[in-house]
Amino acid sequence: MTHTLHIDASANLTTSLSRAASAKVVADQGGTVTYRDLARDPLPQIDGAWADARLTDPATRSAEDAARLALSDTLIRELQQADTIVIGAPIYNFAAPASLKAWMDLVARPRVTFRYTQDGPEGLLTGKKAIVTVASGGVPVGSDIDFLSSHLRFFLGFIGISDVEIIAAKDIATPVAA
């Protein structure tokens, strides 16, 4: 049975096109689902203490550093357990909502989701597929000024998820609002 991690990033909780589209994609996937709503349950921004903690050796990490990384560990576990990641996201000011960027910051962990080798960076979350439903009120999805799609495609590839499909939400959901 497949397992899907479903992430919604739109601040619009009632008439979001990206939420409607991502829900349709998830329903079509079947299997089990872990759901994370970045608007209803916002994630914290990383800070200097968190950045320092992520670089400590897990074997010698203090209890304080482990506590700082606990949410990040949970988010990464959600990714590791998923076969498919479905992300519903609107384009806000040409790019990702801050809530989605916070999630990206928390799951990008050296030696956990990526590592550096002699040949450059290597993603460690391989064998997964991502489907991103993108809604926009004016920026054409996939255009030169859609920095959300290109950023997510690059980021997901960086952590090892190279099978990424970007779908314009308007193409699969009933239009209500971006």
Residue positions in the annotated binding site for FMN? 10, 16-18
Q: Starting from the edge strand earliest in sequence, which strands make up the sheet with 84-90, in order?
A: 32-37, 3-8, 84-90, 129-135, 163-168
Beta strands 129-135 and 84-90: pairing type? parallel
Task: Give the ranges where 11-92 is alpha helix by DSSP (H).
Answer: 17-29, 48-54, 63-81
> Tokens 């980021």 — which residue?
155
Across the strands, what pairs with 32?
Answer: 3
Distances in whole angstroms, Cα of residue 102 to Cα of each of 119, 127, 137, 178: 28, 24, 22, 21
Binding-site annotation: residue ranges: 10, 16-18
Taking the C-alpha atoms of residue 17 and residue 32, their distance in angstroms, rounded to an integer, is 23
3-state SS, residue 57: coil
Nearest to 110, CA basis, from 63, 70, 53, 31: 53
